[in-house]
Amino acid sequence: MTAFSLEPAQAAWCAELRDLAAERLRPLADKGEPGHVNRALVAELGGLGLLSRLFTSGALDLCLMRESLARACTEAETALALQGLGAHPVHAHGTEAQRARWLPRVSDGSAVAAFALSEPGAGSDAAALALAARPDGADRWRLTGEKRWISNAPEADFYTVFARTGPGDGARGVTAFLVPADRPGLTGEPLDMLSPHPIGSLCFDAVEVTADDLLGEPGRGFRVAMDTLNLFRPSVGAFAVGMAQAALDATLPHTAGREAFGGRLSELQAVSHQVAEMAVRTEAARLMVYAAAAAHDAGDPDVPRRAAMAKLLATETAQYVVDRAVQLHGARALRRGHLLEHLYREVRAPRVYEGASEVQRSIIAKELYKSLEDR
């Protein structure tokens, strides 16, 4: 239990999730093919009832799920998170028909979702997206352009796609669409990335979408994107905290038992102080993540700032903690298949996706000066 004072039921649930991840999800993850959707793993997440909780839980529960799963099985955590990221716009902004068609299948793990925002020229600067949605009659558009760095692409069953339907720069004129993967003109290809989960590009060659495919109102798609990211950014921090805690969990017994220089590593002040620093930073990041999630659940107006702070601190902390853990383990931690070798590859991407660390700092500063003007 942390200083955030989780309720006993919450702490017990987190422990149960860690056990499930280790006993039932880890074996399925190990059988998966890197760079491809592990549909057996997604189906098991659905069978355990975890995917349905994406649509019934608040931000804090989402963070607890992601942190707990990440400590024992990062692949399961990522599979769950990507289902939520891709399907949350449907849950929050979709029509009754869209929700009825897709959410039950996302919940049971039979349909894979994806969030298609980034483009070759619009990564961290999401408002610069250029995918064109050209009018083709009344309430009908043709999507033309490319999306890139899309998790679960090109293997997802449907995509939440953001395209420019109107004039104007930045966030103006962006509309969100639900696009099934079998829509004519939509193709994709995988990208060979460091991440073990699939990431690819999508090509839209005059792909037809209609009013029935809208997510929210025309021209208000950027709000759909930001609402989704404000919910999921703290939980990216939770994923990072889970990885940091896993690295710390591995480092404690290693340094306590490893003999070097005439004694145990833990008896060397240079080592024990590093371990203490790893623990302090991990706990501080955890508390900020929980606080941001609680603010989201309470409807506080400063959610963008808190969410950005949580993601920034937690992802930067995880990078530090995992790196220190590798250093204290030595060469063994760099061997393929070692937990820390796996975490070292996993921990880098969260500092980039869903808004790079530099973007989070810009958001924080913008919100701070905005609050000054509002006084």
**CB atoms < 10 A from the CB of 367, how many?**
19
Residue found under tokens 């490319």: 146
* Model pTM score: 0.91
For the domain made up of 8-108, give the CATH fold. Answer: Butyryl-Coa Dehydrogenase, subunit A; domain 1 (1.10.540)
Closest by Cα among 180, 200, 328 to 254: 328
Crossing angle of helices 59-72 and 269-298, in 10° steps, is: 150
> Spelled out in words, what is the top-level CATH class assigned to the domain 223-373?
mainly alpha
Cβ contact 208:136 at 8 Å: yes
Which is catalytic among the residues 316, 346, 354, 367? 354
Task: Give the pLDDT score at 89.
Answer: 97
**CA-angle at 357, arms to 200 and 198, nearest 5°:** 15
Low-confidence ranges of the chain (pLDDT < 50): 1-3
Q: Which residues contact 117 (CB under 8 A, 6 or more apart)?
A: 126, 129, 147, 162, 225
DSSP 356: -
Model pLDDT for residues 79-133, shown as the tens digit of each residue: 999 999 999 999 999 999 999 999 999 999 999 999 999 999 877 676 788 899 9
Task: Give the pLDDT score at 259.
Answer: 83
Q: Which residues contact 253 (CB under 8 A, 6 or more apart)?
A: none
CATH 3.30.499.10 is right for the domain spanning 113-219: no
Q: Is 285 helix (H, G, I), strand (E, B) or coil?
A: helix
Task: Give the pLDDT score at 137.
Answer: 84
Q: Domain ranges in the chain? A: 8-108, 113-219, 223-373
Task: Give the pLDDT score at 111.
Answer: 98
Burial class (CB within 10 angstroms; exposed 0-12, middle 13-18, buried 19+) of 12: exposed
Region at 259 (left for phi over 0; alpha for psi -120 to 50; beta for the rest): beta
Task: Give the pLDDT score at 344.
Answer: 95
Whether residue 354 lies in the annotated active site: yes
